[in-house]
Structure 1
């Protein structure tokens, strides 16, 4: 694999990584702002702690020679533990037995949080003593040089979304070629969301075009569809949050979009969602790794259905999901699952929004249960 062909979209390597580390080290204020943005308050003690954290991060940065170093020492070593300490009750994983230590995979997960989904999957891989992965992120998030450096130092692969239609299509094929070559030739894993954009309605369904592009990128070489699919070792991953810190924000956005027929994102909307997702209370989080997809498939639709089936069956259903389902359906099918759950407190979460937003948010919690029940029938 000629990595120079993908230098503009791949994570930093070699001199590019060294230069990026130098830029970040010269921007202590940026590091302090990033740490402060994750803090729950700004009391003097917290400010002093932020400065200490910044100094510690800068010392660790001098030891970073690869994005693997950055992910392990800084992302998984500092940022994620800090986020979990303040906003997560329990973090758990399952399915690591499905993943071989020396094998590269294409991890394809549901998408709920802009940056945490991929970061938590990497964190789970480290905990399970498995190979960590690169991660595909949209260029709309790369708002300045500092943010770009932090993402690409962390193994970020750029998805170019702000292109004309024809160029965007060609770039998608090129990006898919990077995925396949990275896994098959470099034996390095990568993460991609099952669809573009977060699931705001709780319906985690794969866009078949993502699968199709993998094959299209290799078709000129005469490589058959199933050879590409089996070679990528696609592993469906279910990311389950007990609480979505952005549930009301997402619901307001979607209700507004449905009413108007379309919706234009406001400036800094993604940034606001990122910080809500990082700082907001998430309760329990579970990462479930499915089984690598292998076998004979007719087309990308069939592969997408298998990704969905595994995600829907492996999704950890929390009391929030089970109660929302029974509440909306008027049933008592899952009462044992939320026997000690404070249902009134949960409903009070949506007391200050109109009924359309409230029902949309509750349905977003209930839909993973509906998807699970449908998947059980297959």
Structure 2
């Protein structure tokens, strides 16, 4: 028995048994159908369920290894990208050594699709896919847990209580991640716990501290530990966030009442909507490994943030949202009066450049974003506009900060 059996993904020798267990699970097809077709009812459900189960069994009959499963996932993911995006692109992988293992740390917009887009970029480049860090709050549903673990996901035990137990869990996780890098695979982990619902991408130093626990136990210096982790910042940008309405509802509730309570099944709904709803253009930008001498986790976090923001590919939706965002909301977003004008000037220059490059395409994309916004309740507009405008604000503010250093 491995020391990491309680958190690791499934291995090749376990794949077939897990798949057979899933295929015998009556709730699998029922759950899939009712999320896809919520109005399905009565006598129509049984024959459709039988047909869907037969299709799934046919697709999975020759899947015996992790690679088999991921190749099947890749086929459907490519089809999904064609259906739900107006273009997927990536950059930066040509600057990485294909023989190295990396800790990819990215901004976090979507539960399932962030690591999926990272993996499809690697797959298209004939590189090995990553193991994916996922919180145990998302694995409460056994079906979701099995599917995630089949797809090379390992567990971040966030729900443990007590300081000692938390440290033990994070120490265990840190050891597993280092084990992956040394023996098996690159890994992907989000820069913070939970998605950035307000569009503000900032690395939590606690993530870096967790990653460095193993090195401390090995008596490595902090800098040596960070260098061994081979951290590569990754920036993921969506033209349209498929869960923007849900995020705005949460932000509004928190602002109004001071709290937000998730509904039962909300995470599963977000996963399914993130996979199935339109995203517009999507880009994944891989940065360069963070190497050198470092004083603290905060310094490393700042370096990650710099690459995430610098490499963030802006979309027309970001530009239009910034144009429509109220000045007070900009100031509320921590943009100060003294550099508001400079950010506005940079945004206007970018807008003019985009318009002159392809005015018809720009107009169509701008109209699409405006139409999307108008479908949502007016009370949520300020949150949604800020959500899309914040990446632009932070990117241009970083440019100004770096220019003055």
TM-score (norm 1): 0.89
- CA distance change for structure 1 residues 325 and 48 in 2, over 3 Å: closer, same or farther? farther
Picking from 175, 181, 184, the partner of 1:183 is 181
Find the residue that maps to 1:5 and give its secondary structure: coil
Q: Which residue of 1 aligns with 2:85?
A: 88
1:272-327 CA-to-partner distances (Å, cap 9, x unmatched) read 22222122111111111111111111111111111111110111100000121233
Q: Which residue of 2 aligns with 1:335?
A: 351
Asked if the contact 2:105–2:233 (Cα under 8 Å) also holds between the matched residues in 1, the reply is yes
Asked if the contact 1:238–1:314 (Cα under 8 Å) also holds between the matched residues in 2, the reply is yes
Distance 1:146 1:273 in 2: 15
Q: Runs (4+) of structure 1 moved beyond 6 Å?
A: 39-42, 47-53
Asked if the contact 1:25–1:61 (Cα under 8 Å) also holds between the matched residues in 2, the reply is no
How do residues 41-190 of structure 1 correspond to structure 2 at under 5 angstroms?
Answer: 55=54, 57-73=56-72, 75-78=73-76, 80-166=77-163, 167-184=165-182, 186-190=183-187
- 1:375 is displaced (CA, Å) by 2.4
How do residues 142-291 of structure 1 correspond to structure 2 at under 5 angstroms?
Answer: 142-166=139-163, 167-184=165-182, 186-291=183-288
- CA distance change for structure 1 residues 173 and 328 in 2, over 3 Å: closer, same or farther? same
Find the residue that maps to 2:127 and give its secondary structure: coil
Asked if the contact 2:23–2:53 (Cα under 8 Å) also holds between the matched residues in 1, the reply is no
- 1:255 is displaced (CA, Å) by 1.3
Distance 1:375 1:347 in 2: 27
- CA distance change for structure 1 residues 297 and 86 in 2, over 3 Å: closer, same or farther? same
Distance 1:39 1:144 in 2: 20
Question: Which stretches in structure 1 are left out of the alignment for 5+ residues?
Answer: none
Q: Which residue of 2 aligns with 1:305?
A: 302
- 1:358 is displaced (CA, Å) by 0.6
- CA distance change for structure 1 residues 83 and 14 in 2, over 3 Å: closer, same or farther? closer
Find the residue that maps to 1:218 and give its secondary structure: helix
Structure 1, 122-131 or 214-223: larger mean CA deviation: 214-223
TM-score (norm 2): 0.84
Asked if the contact 1:108–1:234 (Cα under 8 Å) also holds between the matched residues in 2, the reply is yes
- CA distance change for structure 1 residues 208 and 257 in 2, over 3 Å: closer, same or farther? same
Distance 1:51 1:244 in 2: 34
- 1:16 is displaced (CA, Å) by 3.2
Picking from 381, 391, 405, the partner of 1:358 is 381
- 1:160 is displaced (CA, Å) by 1.6
Instruction: Flag the structure with larger Rg.
Output: 2
Q: Which residue of 1 aligns with 2:391?
A: 368
Asked if the contact 2:23–2:57 (Cα under 8 Å) also holds between the matched residues in 1, the reply is yes
Question: Which stretches in structure 2 are left out of the alignment for 5+ residues?
Answer: 41-45, 328-343
How many equivalent residue pairs?
372
Distance 2:67 2:158 in 1: 26
1:10-48 CA-to-partner distances (Å, cap 9, x unmatched) read 001154333212212334772575377458998xxxx99
Find the residue that maps to 1:174 and give its secondary structure: helix
Find the residue that maps to 1:237 and give its secondary structure: strand
Structure 1, 238-247 or 350-359: larger mean CA deviation: 350-359
CA RMSD of aligned residues (A): 2.8
